[in-house]
């Protein structure tokens, strides 16, 4: 089992929280700053904040609200998990209605995350997404183009 510093795993309880999306974005931003993501790649950091926003908003809109946010950062990837009390797995709309706002959250998650999914639990589920870290060393990424 891989061991890493405990500061690379952060969790936030959300049961009964108001303004969960803002709270989760602020929590995530603080973690990204501490992990040097903001300095390494502003674009990748903004992608993470968008993933968190969409995942938490989906829990608010479709699953009775989020219960927890977990950020698990390794040298290769960041895993985001949002726990909620609904057993229903998320399902992207095949064709969101252009006349109504919304409906694109999971399409955004699919576009940004390298992979995502959901895992049922005794109390509901957690939805997870992974994104590559901007801090990977060149040997982890494989051969790089010659400049």
What CATH number did the domain enclosing 58 receive? 3.30.565.10
Q: How far is CA 134 from the centre of its chain?
A: 15
Beta partners for residue 11, in sequence order: 70
Note whether residue 109 is domain-resident. Answer: yes
Alpha helix locations (H) across 87-128? Answer: 105-112
Phi, psi of 4 (to 5 degrees): -145, 165
Range of the domain at 70: 8-94+101-135
Q: How many CB atoms lie within 10 A of CB 126?
A: 22
Note whether residue 3 is domain-resident. Answer: no
pLDDT by position in tens, the chain (length 147)? 454 556 799 999 998 888 999 999 999 999 999 999 988 899 999 999 999 999 999 999 889 999 999 999 998 999 999 999 999 998 876 666 666 656 667 888 989 999 999 999 999 999 999 999 987 644 444 433 444
Note whether residue 144 is domain-resident. Answer: no
């Amino acid at each position: 089992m891989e061991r890493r510093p405990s500061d690379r795993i952060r969790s936030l309880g959300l049961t009964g929280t108001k303004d969960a999306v803002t709270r989760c974005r602020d929590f995530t931003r603080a973690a990204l700053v501490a992990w040097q993501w903001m300095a390494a790649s502003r674009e990748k950091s903004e992608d993470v904040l968008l993933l968190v926003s969409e995942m938490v908003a989906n829990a608010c809109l479709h699953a009775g609200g989020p219960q927890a946010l977990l950020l698990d950062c390794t040298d290769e990837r960041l895993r985001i998990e949002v726990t909620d009390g609904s057993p229903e797995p998320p399902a992207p709309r095949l064709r969101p209605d252009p006349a109504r706002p919304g409906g694109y959250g999971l399409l955004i998650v699919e576009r940004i995350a390298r992979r995502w999914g959901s895992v049922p639990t005794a109390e509901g589920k957690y939805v997870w997404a992974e994104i590559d870290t901007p801090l990977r060393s060149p040997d982890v990424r494989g051969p790089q183009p010659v400049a």
